[in-house]
Amino acid sequence: MALGFYWIPSLAGPTDLAHRGTAWLFPFVDGAPPIGWEQGLAYASLPALLVVAQYISSAVISPPVDPADPNANTTKVVSTLAPWMVAYFALNVPAGLGLYYLTNTVLTLAVQLYLRKLGGAKASDGGLGGKASAG
């Protein structure tokens, strides 16, 4: 028996030999997922949290997009679709992998916030960015 983690019933689930991919969630059987609403919502909450964490992370970490850049539209589309792609992948793999990715995203976001916003990193040129003096 695989161990659970807080609200997640099993880190090895919901995918198994009987429910590969999203077969654990669709098609509904008598108005409910094949594994039931309680477990289905518990497992589906992890990809939902990943979408939220990815959007927040991309908003904090990504530099502002220059509207004059010809690739600005592509950058916007990719940054909008990437969290949903990650969520789809998280629906198709064991919950432990989704939990790992969520933890990694949150910790990376925390480090970036500390370094950029809360003064963890001090900007300096290290003596390399100034004008060279003629000697």
Segment 11-63, tens digit of pLDDT:
888 876 566 777 777 788 888 888 888 888 888 999 999 999 999 998 888 87
Q: Is residue 126 part of a domain?
A: no
Q: What are the tens digits of pLDDT across the range 87-122?
A: 999 888 888 899 999 999 999 999 988 888 777 666
The confidence band for 67, taking pLDDT boundaries of 50, 70 and 90, is confident
Any domain includes 14: yes
pLDDT of residue 20: 74
- Give the per-residue pLDDT at 59: 87
Residue 131, domain member (yes or no): no
| Predicted model pTM | 0.74
Q: Determine the structural domain holding residue 44 and report its residue range.
A: 10-64+71-119
Long-range CB pairs of 88-94 (<8 Å, 24+ gap) are 88/47, 90/46, 90/47, 90/50, 91/21, 91/22, 91/25, 91/44, 91/47, 92/15, 92/21, 92/22, 93/15, 94/11, 94/12, 94/13, 94/14, 94/15
Average pLDDT, integer, range 70-83: 86
pLDDT of 53 reads 95
Q: Does the residue 2 lie in any domain?
A: no
Asked if the structure places residue 134 within a domain, the reply is no
Percent of the chain with pLDDT over 70: 84
Of 5 and 121, the structure prediction assigns the larger pLDDT to 5
Structural domain total, the chain: 1
**Residue 133: inside a domain, yes or no?**
no
* Confidence (pLDDT) at 130: 53
Q: 109 lies in a domain?
A: yes
Give a yes or no: residue 50 inside a domain.
yes
